[in-house]
Amino acid sequence: MFSSLSDRLSATFKGLRGKGRLSEADVDATVREIRRALLDADVALPVVRQFAASVRERALSAEVSGALNPAQQVVKIVHEELVGVLGGQTRRLRFAKNPPTVIMLAGLQGAGKTTLAGKLGRWLREQGHAPLLVAADLQRPNAVTQLQVVGERAGVAVFAPEPGNGVGDPVDVARRGVAAARERQHDVVVVDTAGRLGVDAEMMQQAADIRAATEPDEVLFVVDAMIGQDAVVTAQAFLDGVDLTGVVLSKLDGDARGGAALSVASVTGRPVMFASTGEGLGDFEVFHPDRMASRILDMGDVLTLIEQAEKAFDAEQAQDLATRFASGEDFTLDDFLTQMQGLRNMGSIKKMLGMLPGMGELREQLESFDEREIDRIEAIVRSMTPLERRSPKVLNGSRRARIAKGSGRTVTDVNQLLDRFADAQKMMRSMRKGGGMPGLGGLPGTGGGRGGPGGGMAGLPGGGKKSRGRTAPPPKKGKAKSGNPAKRAQQQSAAARSAPPAGSAFGLGGGQAGQQVPEDLELPPGFEKFLGR
């Protein structure tokens, strides 16, 4: 969502690099570009004015003028101000001393409250709670049925005494839902209410009546992060009518400019507590202002990445692998498959890679990333026998042809996977000997990596320096290189030009951008004699 804003801010900060001291004109130009970027992102005007004024004041202060690197100090100031705009500290749910804790959801029609109720219920269940979803949206057609289906998928109980579709009293249903939760020993109640407009006085009064009847511990305003500055007006109306305690951003994975996320906390004074980041029930996370600010500034979000990895990877399997690894056993294709499945369990690989620092520069390659590659890898590995997975060296031509046919892939695909796996084995052996991680490259399959273009990260799809069709073939044995540096440079240049086009198992393309050929190198006078053999 914040890709456009992130790109604009990154381009602005690049203009400050290399300057030992920032003049007032430099600061004004930077603040002007930041203001334009925020306005283009549809951030509310009062928020933009306050933000720009704070950044300018701090950028002209002694903390920047006395810094060793003024450009980095300005980035730090912008990061801290963004954290403040997004709410400052991470706000957690307040649980009642005497259960059940009542959480009421309110918001506009179509904001995604019912789906979010299921996501919140699933998240609470994973935290060790026993939530109950109450279907108090009796206005929208099939809203009760939708909540029942979502609750079943999330593994959460649903209280739905009325069929809905305009039938029943939502205030009475909410009151009875809290009483049922108390009887059935549910410690959290999530009340799903009907969507309403800020200008609809009757529906807003109904929401106020539900609040009075249930006395909720939290009233969460569910806002569509894609509606821009209108979110601020709507949030203010709900704040006045229902008295919100927190905000939940839905559809944060959309392609809108993100103005709502950067505006609603500052304008309403209520913190953003959760964010819905996808369509799946697991695409739901606690909102951390500092981490979101880091994502916007292309600093990555490694903490969230680690938390997702801890949930996705089985601790016992990881311990077993570490034990076998320490005892000298080799990395097998079964282990390789387990790691790939763990990556898939973490969710979208695009989203996961986007949490790494500096990935803004690879956004176009991330967009063309093929998420189905993990499935193709799994199909190939599962077409092998247990012996072949343990000892890939037995895979001769006929076995590879059988595996390709069984997985619906080509022999070339099988060969590429085995080449990448061989690189992963070498890396693991080197680590066991204390050699560290040898030459980890860039994003798998994006063309940056070990030993040249198209290297990628060994052991991951699209990585490995031996992947066929990705790098220029080495000179054939027996063909001696010229001892003349100029002639040898011509030979290498001709070999590079005749190399097949770079490809990728991910479909990203392993382009040759940034690669230098010997003619382009500027050598010091007399240095040629050191190149001879």
CATH number, domain containing residue 313: 1.10.260.30
Cα separation, 338 vs 283, in Å, equals: 22
Residue 497 confidence (pLDDT): 52
> Do 118 and 267 sit in the same domain of this protein?
yes
Locate tokens 């050929």: which residue?
517
The better pLDDT of the pair 180, 350 is held by 180
Q: Which of 392, 413, 432 is the last residue of a domain?
A: 432
Cα separation, 241 vs 198, in Å, equals: 8
Cα separation, 417 vs 265, in Å, equals: 48
Q: Does residue 25 fall inside a structural domain? A: yes
Tokens of residue 305, six digits: 């990445």
* Binding-site entries for GTP: 107-114, 192-196, 250-253
> Do 143 and 272 sit in the same domain of this protein?
yes
> Do 140 and 248 sit in the same domain of this protein?
yes
Q: Which of 432, 458, 475 is the last residue of a domain?
A: 432
> Do 355 and 230 sit in the same domain of this protein?
no
Least confident of 30-34, 116-120, 232-236: 232-236
Does position 474 have pLDDT exceeding 60, yes or no?
A: no
Q: Any idea how long the chain is?
A: 533
Q: Does residue 56 fall inside a structural domain? A: yes
Let me know: does 45 contact 26? Beta carbons within 8 Å: no
Q: 21 phi and psi, to 5 degrees?
A: -145, 140
- Which pTM does this prediction carry? 0.61
> Do 147 and 19 sit in the same domain of this protein?
no
> Do 58 and 111 sit in the same domain of this protein?
no
Residue 180 confidence (pLDDT): 93
Residue 456 confidence (pLDDT): 37
Beta bridge partner(s), residue 106: 221
Residue 466 confidence (pLDDT): 39
pLDDT band, residue 403 (cuts 50/70/90): very high
pLDDT band, residue 448 (cuts 50/70/90): very low
* Binding-site entries: 107-114, 192-196, 250-253
Report DSSP state, residue 484: S
Angle at 439 between CA 416 and CA 7, to 5 degrees: 90
Element (H, E) at 102: strand 101-107
Centroid of chain to Cα 463: 21
Q: What is the pLDDT of residues 306-328, one digit of tens each?
A: 666 666 656 666 666 667 666 66
CATH no. for residue 78?
1.20.120.140
> Do 80 and 161 sit in the same domain of this protein?
no
- Select from 74, 30, 48 the least CA-distant residue to 259: 48
Residue type, 6: S
- The mean pLDDT value for 164-176 works out to 87
Cα separation, 438 vs 492, in Å, equals: 25
User: Which residue segment(s) compose the domain that 77 sits in?
Assistant: 3-85
> Do 281 and 313 sit in the same domain of this protein?
no
> Do 204 and 262 sit in the same domain of this protein?
yes
Average predicted confidence (pLDDT) for the chain: 74
Let me know: does 135 contact 147? Beta carbons within 8 Å: yes
pLDDT band, residue 41 (cuts 50/70/90): confident
Let me know: does 118 contact 250? Beta carbons within 8 Å: no
Q: Which of 381, 404, 432 is the last residue of a domain?
A: 432
pLDDT band, residue 217 (cuts 50/70/90): very high
CATH no. for residue 189?
3.40.50.300
Residue 532 confidence (pLDDT): 47
Report DSSP state, residue 196: -
Does position 533 have pLDDT exceeding 80, yes or no?
A: no
Number of domains in the chain: 3
Let me know: does 93 contact 87? Beta carbons within 8 Å: no
Does position 442 have pLDDT exceeding 70, yes or no?
A: no
> Do 79 and 108 sit in the same domain of this protein?
no
Q: Does residue 464 fall inside a structural domain? A: no
> Do 279 and 349 sit in the same domain of this protein?
no
